[in-house]
Structures are given as structure tokens and as C-alpha cells.
Structure 1
Amino acid sequence: MNDVKESHLVKQAQNGDEDAFSLLVERYATRLYGVCFHLLGNREDAEDCVQESFIKIYRSLTGYRFRSSFYTWAYRISVNVCLDYRRKNNRGKTVSLDEGPETSSGQLFYQVADELPLPDQLLERSELTELVREELSLLPAYLRDIVILRDLEGLSYAELAGLLKISEGTVKSRLFRGRKQLMERIRYREQNRSGGRQTDREITTEGSEGEK
């Protein structure tokens, strides 16, 4: 589906054409499900949120002004649905932590974070794919969200700040901590494949001590 045809379908859907909207759902359902599954880590919850997302998308169609791609607009709605769902169900509750040393612009964490391997780069190594996905799912939700939305979904710092209602400096510092904890988990697993596994509590405790 090219951009012109997509725009035409959106305009038709805005005028009440249910068949046009069904084609948009067919086009993006799988991608939005992937986003929801990454954020929620549960197939049933992801399916529920995808359905809720399309309900909200349909009801909000007249508010879409073609300032971004339709997928980008729908994607933001889906992310908000997932975050609201998790808050209402008390899943992945976030905690308040000191943000650590950074400049007012967050430049220090920006530089350090970008020197670490990215999850999408690690996923290119087939032998690490399952390991990365598993360890990513075990990160605290407030860190996992940042890593997923930045490194796997490609959102900018400004987009993340607006979406999560936090400062760009906080985005960058959380991204640093999320990448750092993920790499610590992966390195530990790789070095101890034949031995026992470090517990989530041990890793979380180590990460928290490093933030003080």
C-alpha cells in the first residue's frame, strides 16, 4: 500500500467507509500487536489492547490531520492504550528513583548510553535473539519501555518525553540504565550457560546500588 492509497483509504474511513477502515486494520494489526506485546509481555493482554487501540483509532479518525503517517499516529494511540492498561491493572508499576549525575540537557547520559550495544544490534545475532528477548522482558517496566520504544521502535528522545510525560534528560538516563542492566544480564547468562542463573533480585539490587 503506497502513501497515496493509504491517504485515500484514511479519507474514506473518515467519511464513514467501514471497508476502508477494515483495510487499514488489516494493514497495521500485526505491527501494532507487536508493539503491544513488547510493552505488556502477554499475548492475551496484547490482543485486548490492540482491539482497544483500533476502537480508539476509529473514534478519533476525524482528529487525524495527516501531519504524520497514519501508522505513526495509530502507533502513539496504541502505546498510550498499553501504558494506561498496565497502570489500571497495576502491572509493571514504576518507581521513583534519583536520576543520577547528568547535565541539565542530559548530555552525559546521551553520550554514555549511545556507546552501549543496542538491543536491535544484538537481535541481529541469531544465537542471542531469544536471550535478548527474555532478558528484556525481565527489566523493570519503566526501563523496558524506554529501551523498546527507543531502540526497537525508533522513537526520538523528544517523542518519548512527550509520550511518557517526562523530561528528555530523564529519558536519556533511563535509557542508559535500561541498556546497562540488559547488557549485564546478557553477559552473565553468556558467561554462565552451564551454571546457575543470577536472580532478578540480585541484578536489580546491583543496578540500584550503582545508581545511588
Structure 2
Amino acid sequence: MQEAELIKQAQKGVTSCFTQLVTRYQVRLYSYLLARCHHPEDADDVLQETFMNAFQYIKSYQPKWAFSTWLYTIARRLLVSRHKRYYVAIEDVELASDDTNELHSLDHNNFWRLIKKYVSADCYDALWFHYKEDKPIKQVADILKKSESWVKTNLYRSKMKLRQVPALSRLLEEL
């Protein structure tokens, strides 16, 4: 069944259709949450709460937005509202000598983890949604509640900043 039809049926109260939507998005959404939470258990909790909220408010979903954008917005709001408990504070840091081992073994598995050390939380989210989730600039702006020009500017600035880290610059070329 197509996503639009699953959504319509879920809005009518057909739980099996909502379950199919959960199945389609849970892995990607969990990956997003795991990258931002201190512990996998926290990501599990926020994931569950995201889908509970989505189920509760599915009737308010409007098809003018992508369903994934709506879900990520719910998840991001939950993270921000639980800032002290769940959201990993990300600050700009200088490359420390103890990062060199991590940089030498850099691959796609720890690439995103290392990026968190060099960019702000909002910039990290913009990079994640645009490059990891393949969201267009407009959807990234909608999720982050920022302007499209903010997203474009900060994607560019973040990439320029990350290119200054030699090991990261190699993988950035693949973005």
C-alpha cells in the first residue's frame, strides 16, 4: 500500500496501517535519535514517545508536508523539550591530541559521531537531515523551524569548518 493511503487509513483509526508506517520509519528515526542521546535506552524512550504522539495526533497531519518531516519534527521537539535529560549538548571544540586515534580509524560508522564535536546541535541536525536522510533544503528548514537561507548558509559553513579536519575532509567529499 502506498504511504499516502496508509496515512489516510491510519487517520481513520486503522492501527495496522499505522503499524506499517512505524515499520517504514523506525530504523531511520532510531538512528537519528541514537546520534543525539546519551544512551540507547534514551533513544528507545524518545522513539516510543514519538510514535505514541504521532498516533495520538495522526488526524492533525497534513499531506502538504512529507510524513517523514512531520515525524522528525515530533522527535526533535521531544529531544529539545527534554534537553537536560536526553539532548546531547554539542559545542565547538578544538581538535585535541586524543582525537588522533579516532581520526586514524575514521569510517562511516564514527564519522557522524566525530562531526558532533565540531558543529553546533542545529548545524549537526541540518547536516544529518540533508546528507544522511537526503531531505531537500525546504524540508530541513521545516523540521528545524529555520529559514531555507539559514539552512543553506549553515550547511556551507559547517562543511568549510569540517574540511579543516584532515581525516574528515576525505569523507566530506562523499557528501
Both structures adopt the same fold (TM-score exceeding 0.5): yes
Hey, what does 2:80 align to over in structure 1? 83
Aligned partners of 1:157 and 1:168 also within 8 Å = yes
Deviation >6 Å, runs of 4+: none
Identity of aligned residues (%): 26
What's the offset of the Cα at 1:94? 7.2
**Matching of residues 1-212 of structure 1 within 5 Å:** 2-3=1-2, 6-40=3-37, 42-86=39-83, 91-92=88-89, 128-139=107-118, 140-187=120-167
Aligned partners of 1:55, 1:136: CA distance in 2, in Å? 30
Q: Deviations over 1:41-75 (max 9, x none)?
A: 64222212111110110111111233344334323
Partner AA of 2:146 in structure 1: I
Q: Number of residues paired by the alignment?
A: 157
Partner AA of 1:62 in structure 2: K
Aligned partners of 2:147, 2:91: CA distance in 1, in Å? 16
Distance 1:165 1:70, change over 3 A: closer
* Structure 1 vs Structure 2 CA RMSD: 3.3
What's the offset of the Cα at 1:87? 6.3
Partner AA of 2:89 in structure 1: G
Aligned partners of 2:41, 2:127: CA distance in 1, in Å? 22
Partner AA of 1:54 in structure 2: F
Q: Secondary structure at the match of 1:175?
A: helix
Aligned partners of 1:189, 1:94: CA distance in 2, in Å? 20
Aligned partners of 1:135 and 1:182 also within 8 Å = no
Distance 1:58 1:128, change over 3 A: same
Aligned partners of 1:66, 1:188: CA distance in 2, in Å? 38
Q: Deviations over 1:84-109 (max 9, x none)?
A: 333675642679xxxxxxxxxxxxxx
What's the offset of the Cα at 1:136? 1.7
Aligned partners of 2:82, 2:41: CA distance in 1, in Å? 12
